[in-house]
Structure 1
Amino acid sequence: MSSPCALLTWTLLTLLGLGATREDFTPCGPIVPRREWGALPSRCEQRLDLPVRYVVVSHTAAIPCDTPASCMRQVQNVQHYHARTRGWCDVAYNFLIGEDGLVYEGRGWDTQGAHSGPTWNPKSIGISFMGNYMDRAPPQRALRAAQSLLACGVARGALRTNYEVKGHRDVRDTDSPGDRLYDIIRTWPHYRY
């Protein structure tokens, strides 16, 4: 839900004809768009029926990144692996979270991911933390970025207000999102087994 100040600002800009949209004032933190991290063009065509009820949290199980430059390289590496090596239409995830505290747009809010199999992909947003979180937790700034992204999804109407968070291992036979990250997401208010 928008704050009264944001709503007032949006209303004034709209009345002045300055072209602001309601989405300009959602509680979204910084999301690095595809063009800024150098994404390959997407070949994906399957759209999500929004708002979705589920969010599936995973980890890439690769090396972490903690600066925008290293995270942009890491997102490019993940996309290259998924699109070029695996032959998928794009990076599997809707969003990726870096240890730099930024969210990187993968397939985005509207496009179905390839993160959790045919049962879950059509009804969920896939968020992957870049790194391996079996033995260590992501830093607080990455966890805050994920929480901001979830609030953004609700504000944009991409997630239901009663959305449920699942760990990747809750929906697939995998160790993802790693033991330490899984322990953390199970404390989130929207987590459901």
Structure 2
Amino acid sequence: MHQVMEQNVRIVSRVQWRAAPPKQRERQKSLARRVVIHHTATPSCRGLEKCKEQIFSIQRDHMTERGFSDIGYNFLVEGGGIVFEGRGWGVVGAHTKGNNLDSLGIAFIGNFNRHRDLGDTECPGENLYSALPNLRGTT
């Protein structure tokens, strides 16, 4: 018999991590057809306070150094499983050039090395990439 474990997901809103306001927000014209998994290529973090600082730093880098209108990812996940709202639901991200209009970008906070599905990058890292098949849900 297959046993399903129920787990509550903690989502930290933009207000809670003190996100800077976006320069603009482009709404997705339809539901996302796919999810693109990334890593932030930064040190990993655990816990609300430490990760709030890290995510704010990522947002600042994306907006000032990369010229994005906001943090590039729709959501970010820290080492203990807390989910942080980036651009959020229904907003076009800036996570995978040429693939943002119909996708949702989720980044795991940390550096996991080597990735190669949609571009020549190391994202989301070899260790996380090899674990992706195990993340498929059951119905």
TM-score (normalised: structure 1): 0.63
Moved beyond 4 Å, runs of 4+ = none
Describe the shift of the 1:101–1:94 C-alpha distance in structure 2 as closer, same or farther (beyond 3 A).
same
Q: Which residue of 2 aligns with 1:99?
A: 79
Q: How does 1:66-85 map to 2 (within 5 A)?
A: 66-85=46-65
The residue type paired with residue 103 of structure 1 is: V
Report the identity percentage. Answer: 39
Q: 1:125 to 1:28 in 2, by over 3 A?
A: farther
1:34 Cα shift? 0.2
Unaligned runs of 5+ in 2: 1-6
Q: Relative to structure 1, is the Cα distance of residues 68 and 100 closer, same or farther in structure 2, using a 3 angstrom cutoff?
A: farther
Give 1:185's match in structure 2, choosing from 129, 132, 135: 132
Q: Counterparts of 1:100 and 1:72 in 2: how far apart (Å)?
A: 14
Distance in 2, matches of 1:59 and 1:94, equals 13
Who is 2:89 aligned against? 109
Q: Check the 8 A contact 1:96/1:105 in 2, yes or no.
A: yes
The answer (yes or no) to whether the contact 1:63–1:130 under 8 Å persists in 2 is yes
Rg (Cα) greater in structure: 1
Secondary structure of 2:81's counterpart equals coil
Give the partner amino acid of 1:121: N
Larger CA deviation: 50-59 vs 89-98 = 50-59
Q: Give the superposition deviation at 1:72.
A: 0.4
In structure 2, distance between residues paired with 1:106 and 1:40: 11
Deviations 1:58-117 (A, max 9, x none): 001110001111110110010000012222100000000011321000000111000001
Q: Does 1:174 align with 2:126?
A: no
Q: Are 2:40 and 1:60 equivalent residues in the alignment?
A: yes
Structure 1 Cα separation of the partners of residues 73 and 51 of structure 2: 15
Query: Normalised by the size of structure 2, how large is the TM-score?
Result: 0.87
What is the CA-CA distance between 1:28 and the residue it aligns to? Answer: 6.7
Aligned length: 131
Distance 1:123 1:28 in 2: 27
Q: Any gaps of 5 or more consecutive residues in structure 1?
A: 1-26, 136-167
Structure 1, residues 132-157: CA drift from partner, whole Å, max 9, x if none? 1139xxxxxxxxxxxxxxxxxxxxxx
User: 1 or 2, which has the higher helix percentage?
Assistant: 1
Root-mean-square deviation over aligned CA pairs: 1.8
Residues in 1 aligned to 2:134 and 2:86: alpha-carbon distance in whole angstroms? 26
